[in-house]
A and B are shown apart, each in its own frame.
Chain A
Amino acid sequence: MTVFLLRRLIQAAGVVLAMSLLVFLGVYAIGDPVEILISPEADQIERERAVKALGLDLPLWQQYLVFLGRALQGDLGRSFVFNEPALQLILQRMPATLELAFGATFVALLIGLPLGLYAGLRPKSPLSKGILAGSILGFSLPTFWVGLMLIMVFAVQLGWLPSTGRGETVEVLGMRWSFLTRDGLAHMVMPALNLSLFKISLVIRLTRAGVRETMLMDYVKFARAKGLSPSRVTFVHVFKNILIPVVTVVGLEFGGTIAFSVVTESVFAWPGMGKLIIDSINVLDRPVMVAYLMIIVLLFITINLVVDITYSVLDPRVRLEGKS
């Protein structure tokens, strides 16, 4: 187990290093931050000063080494735009994104599981066909458009919900959370729903497929033959078994939601990490872009590591492979 873990950790470190180089090169290739950030009225002397102040006068490999050296000490650079540590900026925005991602996942399970279960149990009913057709919309409608439609209907026409932004927050554990206030929740409903649309469809399809497969299993047939009530068969024998793939996929999807809720966050002016990254890309704020991508890389590596470890606990064959 220790050898396995150690090997995975070394691999992970290698991936991080390779990604840092790729990210740095990629960000470098996009364009010249000084041209974007500087006032158009600045003269040549001022432009040269800015290039120097931002450390862009060094050759690329030196810039990379400077970055790497600082990164090893936990410093991912200072934002060109805000003049604050990039890491701190991102961490400040993290609670907003986290609560949105949790909210979206919660909504996805709340809506997706019962609908998927129903569609799996009664595959022939028109309602099931309707649910399935609806889930196609969830996969194919662009979140951008759906977000704007939600705003038009629920904020502009009906006036039930606030159109954009994050509501009132309270400070818990040194971070600002909005899901604990009424106003905050009202602001969260639409972006969370928008973000969960794809996930709802995913959960419906996974659950339905799982149910249909499980229903044919011998142990289900046996349970039925034993004379157990249909609800007990459904919720104990079937439901428990289909949850494993659903939870795995939703968990992985959760990582993606944290990293790439960019569209929803910008449509709803939600001050999370996604909005920060898109604003930073627009002004080529390289340190924030690099730091963000590095954090995302770490996030995915951690998720994968946890998944691997879980598998090795669940499935002895993974460990045996390591030994041979």
Chain B
Amino acid sequence: MKQGLRAAGSAAMLACLLAGGAAAQTLVMGVGAPVTSLDPHYHQLSPNTAVAHMIFGGLTMTDSHARVVADLAESWRAVDETTWEFKLRTGVRFHNGSEFTAEDVAFTFQRVPNVPNSPSSYAIYTRPIRQVEIVDPLTIRLRTAAPYPLMPTDLASVMILDRETHAQATTEGFNAGPMAVGTGPFRMVSHRNGDRIEFERNETYWGTKPHWQRVTYRMITNDAARTAALLAGDVEVIDQVPTSDLAKLRADQRLTLAEVTGLRLIFLSLDHSRAENSPQVADNDGRPIRQNPLKDVRVRRALSIAIDRGAITERIMEGSAIPSGQFLPEGAFGYVPGLNPPRPDAEAARKLLAEAGFPNGFRLTLSGPNDRYPNDARIIQAIGQMWTRIGVRTTVEAQPWTSFVGRAARQELSAFLIGWGTSSGEASNPLRNLVATFDREKGYGASNRGRYSNPEVDRLTAAAMQELDDSKREELLRQATRVAFEDVGIIPLHIQKNAWAMRRGLTMDARADELTRAQDVRPAAPR
């Protein structure tokens, strides 16, 4: 009886929801990560980017598979080695009616590096631009010091502001509302910091207008509470579905899921920075080993093939990740066909260790965060056991991200798990940041926390960054990727799948770059 009542109640509630949704065209979304700023040039962070995509627009944008497509620029081309020309879209207006022209683009590039107190600026995308030339109101040329093939990719991250409106705009002005004026598909109606943002449809949007007249974007950081809010019907879409809830939500008749293979690689980084006395490596009696075993490619390969990636993705990640042997999933720019995830082989791993002079293994500490990536602490525990099986007695140390990431960046850890989201969707991004030699002048290897260094990888990556021809560049990126992974510069584990859950009757264009945007959600076509 109770069951029946409950089912009837749910059905009634669902009917209400469906009817209400269809008539009023409103959408309530629950997102897991707080939006920290509505100033699109203040703090580079995924949730901020997602909201910026709703309010503003860039010259280019990326589609759900992270391919660069046109936004406020209709077309672009490299005029010569060091000049990019962008043809702007005609008849585009900002939310306040102000017209969009090349002046606004030039103004934007001026503002980006000059936002006060920015904890993570977008200037890295505008820095290659040496000179901006306005050819006519709808044509702009950007000159660079050296050939820069990534210009259209990079500019997808730079939201265009209006010279008239935003000349004196402060970050507070954006957060409070009056300055949150862009060319995007939604207008911002109200913003309650860390709680919710309300939007309404931009009826004068130049592109395909979104289905929703009003959107409420709620921040519910607690995983269980977010899932509960969906089950209770308080929100209609949630992101960052916890892997442990996936099976239950999939079985729920009232709900549907949207999943896509993402661009975030989870990998292990090893200490390459020291030739001797790596801090968390010891021999079997606990004495330090003079020579750093992690500098030996045979040891690195042994550690890599000791890992059963399939077991991790199936059991720990419950199917919400795919094993990987490289930076990107199949189909991405620079993906290397045939560079597959290493097959687990404990026997071969032991043999490699013996060849390298460690027939009895050694001791190692494997660190990682416990609050950053799905199941992060459980993954390193599993790997610790897999390594111990081949003779590398592993101590596992999981710690909060806030203290972990600083230690990793200071090279205090010998082996650790970390992730990398390739938001640009092409291979030069992880090559430059993760495996290229740490070099302040070139700006390479800034996130290369293990300090891996291989001149061949550097050479191929640098060559690719000078190559404007797409197919030639992709070939160079593939070669560089292959060299880096054959040398086991980092140990790739898996690429995460991104999952959203929503009430039945909705459908969503699931994005590889993890962004949760209202324009990607619409009612499912009736069957």
Contact = CB atoms under 8 A, between A and B. Distances in A.
A50 B421 CA distance: 21
A50 to B, nearest CB: 6
A38 B120 contact: yes
Contacts of A78: 117
A44 B446 contact: yes
A77 B137 CA distance: 42
A80 interface: yes
Interface in B141-200: 171-172, 175, 192-196
A271 B192 contact: yes
A80 B403 CA distance: 18
A16 to B, nearest CB: 26
A163 B98 CA distance: 41
A38 to B, nearest CB: 4
Q: Classify the secondary structure of B's interface with A.
A: mixed
Interface string B319-340: 0000000000000000000000
Contacts, number: 172
A271 B124 CA distance: 33
B409 A32 contact: yes
Contact of A164 (B193, B225, B233): B225
B429 interface: yes
A152 B6 CA distance: 13
A40 B433 contact: yes
A286 B118 CA distance: 15
A276 B219 CA distance: 12
A35 B218 CA distance: 27
Interface in A244-275: 266-269, 271, 275
A103 interface: no
A141 to B, nearest CB: 16
A6 interface: no
Interface stretch (A63-71, A195-203, A215-223, A277-285): A277-285
A45 B443 contact: yes
A14 interface: no
Nearest to A176: B192
A232 B206 CA distance: 76
A162 B13 CA distance: 13
Interface of A: 30-47, 49-50, 53-54, 78, 80-84, 89, 92-93, 148, 151-152, 155-159, 162-166, 266-269, 271, 275-276, 279, 281-284
- Of all A-B residue pairs in the complex, the 8 with the closest CB atoms, nearest first, are A43-B443, A271-B195, A39-B44, A37-B119, A155-B232, A163-B232, A32-B406, A83-B171
Interface of B: 6, 9-10, 13, 34, 36-37, 39, 42-45, 116-121, 123-124, 127, 171-172, 175, 192-196, 218-222, 224-226, 228-229, 231-234, 401-403, 405-406, 409, 420-421, 423, 429, 433, 440, 443-444, 446-447
19 contacts: A36-B401, A39-B45, A41-B44, A41-B423, A41-B447, A43-B446, A45-B443, A46-B121, A83-B171, A83-B175, A148-B225, A155-B229, A158-B9, A162-B232, A269-B218, A271-B195, A275-B221, A276-B194, A283-B36
